[in-house]
């Protein structure tokens, strides 16, 4: 038995979706007018199929609207919190509705039977760990013993909420306790989709990772349309259609995904040069593309962050092994390679014991930059000679030699190990 608190787009879809999967679901919302409308089978927003499903599951008894929250909670093993999380005046998240809902659960919970509170509302990373969990514990309940707690973000899109809920790409479960994790895995088993079990903060973050990427892509396109208008004589519609014909958008997973992956900066001949040239041309015309300028700023900042990490870990007397010199794997191109800036900054900070290894790009790097560093004749030599390894290029060779690399502390900026 499941109770869903908050019956907006997300809550109503969640409740009816679980009812469709054969569960008994209680739906509760503090808005009594909304409850009355739902009771009549009326949905106050446009969402195809949901109206039919509401009537169907009210009739079957799988979905019941309740005003007696106490009874619903007592009967439920899962409490899904789907209330709104609007912004406060300054933009920060307002968690008042979430806290009110959690408090209502606690008030009606008895530790005799285990139930888990599942936060489906979108909450900023760290909310459950830093705020909701301590809030519950302050009231004398032990997480995992007396009550469960988990984050389970929702990725549905308005307009296709029903379909998106029933056929999700993935389910993310960020449980604070093992019991809740296995309960949620069990609940979602019938969906037959990949389930990712992560920390509650990772689960919260994944939702923001997704939404902020989408927001960034839209702003990217909008900034581009503004700068194209500024330049003039550009067929914006055609230009974007041609962009979309890039094969990297399609496939599963689409190759474009490799560009949305953290590393230590873009390099090579084209991306740095062309981004800089376009920004500079527009600046000279008093048109400042803020997003593109930030793109360049981030590309600088990420390399500075790598150096700051090294400085935090070891002193200048340490030997640092730089793994990878090419700007990307499977090339010996070292133009604008992040390795060059990282090595340059380390040398400037007095880290003079640098030894590098790259399966292909050592001769090109040596010839291009003539920096005072050593070059290892093998990966093994590089590892053995180093106190700290900094993985800069995601060569397969490094991935294939994980165990060797892990003999030393590794800063893996390509997230491959």
Ligand X SMILES: NC(=O)c1ccc[n+]([C@@H]2O[C@H](COP(=O)([O-])OP(=O)(O)OC[C@H]3O[C@@H](n4cnc5c(N)ncnc54)[C@H](O)[C@@H]3O)[C@@H](O)[C@H]2O)c1
Q: Residue 119 and residue 204: Cα distance in Å, rounded?
A: 9
Q: What minimum distance in Å lies between the beta carbon of 14 and ligand X?
A: 9
Under rule CB under 6 A, residue 165 binds ligand X: no
Under rule CB under 6 A, residue 26 binds ligand X: no
| 3-state secondary structure (DSSP) of residue 55 | helix
Q: Which residue has the tokens 């830093």?
A: 130
Among 150-158, 212-220, 256-264, 365-373, the segment contacting ligand X (CB under 6 A): 150-158
Under rule CB under 6 A, residue 27 binds ligand X: no
Under rule CB under 6 A, residue 28 binds ligand X: yes
Q: What minimum distance in Å lies between the beta carbon of 99 and ligand X?
A: 9
**Residue from 49, 56, 75, 100 that binds ligand X (CB under 6 A)?**
100
Q: Residue 221 and residue 227: Cα distance in Å, rounded?
A: 10
Under rule CB under 6 A, residue 130 binds ligand X: no
Q: What minimum distance in Å lies between the beta carbon of 337 and ligand X?
A: 40
Residues in the interface with ligand X (CB under 6 A) total 25
Residues 272-331 that bind ligand X (CB under 6 A): none
**Residue from 20, 154, 181, 336 that binds ligand X (CB under 6 A)?**
154
**Residue from 3, 62, 76, 85 that binds ligand X (CB under 6 A)?**
85
205-244 b/e (C-beta count within 10 Å ≥ 16 → b): bbbeeeeeeeeeeeeeeeebeebeeeeeeeeeeeeeeeee
Q: What minimum distance in Å lies between the beta carbon of 376 and ligand X?
A: 49
Q: Which of 82, 185, 264, 270 is catalytic?
A: 270
Beta strands in 153-300 (DSSP E): 171-175, 195-198
Q: Catalytic residue at 82?
A: no
C-alpha triplet 294, 300, 302: angle, nearest 5°? 100
Among 98-106, 179-187, 254-262, 265-273, the segment contacting ligand X (CB under 6 A): 98-106
Nearer to ligand X, 100 or 276 (CB): 100
**Residue from 136, 156, 302, 306 that binds ligand X (CB under 6 A)?**
156
Per-position DSSP letters for 214-256, written without gaps between them:
HHHHHHHHHHHHHHHHHH-S--HHHHHHHHHT-GGGSTTTTGG
Nearer to ligand X, 154 or 336 (CB): 154
Under rule CB under 6 A, residue 124 binds ligand X: no
Burial grade of 98 (CB within 10 A; 0-12, 13-18, 19 or more):
buried
Q: Residue 85 and residue 261: Cα distance in Å, rounded?
A: 28
Residues 6-25 that bind ligand X (CB under 6 A): 6-11
Contacts of 385 (CB under 8 A, 6+ apart): 319, 321, 355, 374, 376
Contacts of 368 (CB under 8 A, 6+ apart): 334, 335, 340
| 3-state secondary structure (DSSP) of residue 174 | strand
Return the half-sphere exposure (C-beta side, CA atoms, 13 A cut-off) of residue 333. Answer: 12
**Residue from 16, 34, 147, 390 that binds ligand X (CB under 6 A)?**
34
Nearer to ligand X, 135 or 179 (CB): 135
Under rule CB under 6 A, residue 30 binds ligand X: yes
**Residue from 84, 144, 316, 344 that binds ligand X (CB under 6 A)?**
84
Q: Which residue has the tokens 């787009």?
A: 9
Residues 230-259 that bind ligand X (CB under 6 A): none
Contacts of 9 (CB under 8 A, 6+ apart): 45, 47, 156, 158, 161
Residue 375, phi then psi, degrees to nearest 5: -120, 130
Q: What minimum distance in Å lies between the beta carbon of 158 and ligand X?
A: 4
Among 95-103, 169-177, 263-271, 405-413, the segment contacting ligand X (CB under 6 A): 95-103
Any idea which residues carry the catalytic annotation? 270
Contacts to ligand X by CB under 6 A: 5-11, 28-31, 34, 82-85, 97, 100-101, 104, 121-122, 154, 156, 158
């Amino acid at each position: 038995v499941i109770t869903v608190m908050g019956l907006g787009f997300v809550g109503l879809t969640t409740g009816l979706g679980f009812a469709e999967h054969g569960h008994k679901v209680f739906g509760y919302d503090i808005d009594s007018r909304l409850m009355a409308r739902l009771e009549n089978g009326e949905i106050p927003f446009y969402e195809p199929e949901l109206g039919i499903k509401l009537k169907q599951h009210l009739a079957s008894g799988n979905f019941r609207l309740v005003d007696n929250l106490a009874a619903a909670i007592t009967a439920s093993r899962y409490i899904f919190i789907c209330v709104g999380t609007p912004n406060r005046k300054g933009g920060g998240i307002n968690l008042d509705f979430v806290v009110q809902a959690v408090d209502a659960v606690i008030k009606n919970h008895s530790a005799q039977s285990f139930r888990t509170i599942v936060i489906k509302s979108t909450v900023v990373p760290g909310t459950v760990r830093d705020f909701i969990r301590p809030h519950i514990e302050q009231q004398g309940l032990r997480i995992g013993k007396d009550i469960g707690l988990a984050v389970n973000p929702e990725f549905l899109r308005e307009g296709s909420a029903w379909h998106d809920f029933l056929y999700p790409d993935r389910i993310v479960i960020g449980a604070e306790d093992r019991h809740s994790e296995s309960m949620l895995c069990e609940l979602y088993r019938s969906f037959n989709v990949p389930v990712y079990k992560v920390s509650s903060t990772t689960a919260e973050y994944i939702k923001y990772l997704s939404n902020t990427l989408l927001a960034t892509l839209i702003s990217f396109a909008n900034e581009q349309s503004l700068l194209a208008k500024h330049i003039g004589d550009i067929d914006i519609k055609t230009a974007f259609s041609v962009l979309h014909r890039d094969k990297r958008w399609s496939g599963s997973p689409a190759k474009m995904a490799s560009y949305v992956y953290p590393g230590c900066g873009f390099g090579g001949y084209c991306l740095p040069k062309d981004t800089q040239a376009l920004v500079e041309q527009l600046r000279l015309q008093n048109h400042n593309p803020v997003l593109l300028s930030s793109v360049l700023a981030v590309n600088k900042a990420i390399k500075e962050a790598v150096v700051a990490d090294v400085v935090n870990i070891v002193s200048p007397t340490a030997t640092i092994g730089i793994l990878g010199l090419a700007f990307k794997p499977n090339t010996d191109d070292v133009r604008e390679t992040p390795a060059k800036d990282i090595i340059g900054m380390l040398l400037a900070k007095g880290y003079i014991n640098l030894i590098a290894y790259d399966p292909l790009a050592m001769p090109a790097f040596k010839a291009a930059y003539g920096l005072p560093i050593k070059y290892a004749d093998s990966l093994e030599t590089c590892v053995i000679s180093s106190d700290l390894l900094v993985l800069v290029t995601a060569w397969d060779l490094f991935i294939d030699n994980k165990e060797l690399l892990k003999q030393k502390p590794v800063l893996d900026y390509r997230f491959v190990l």
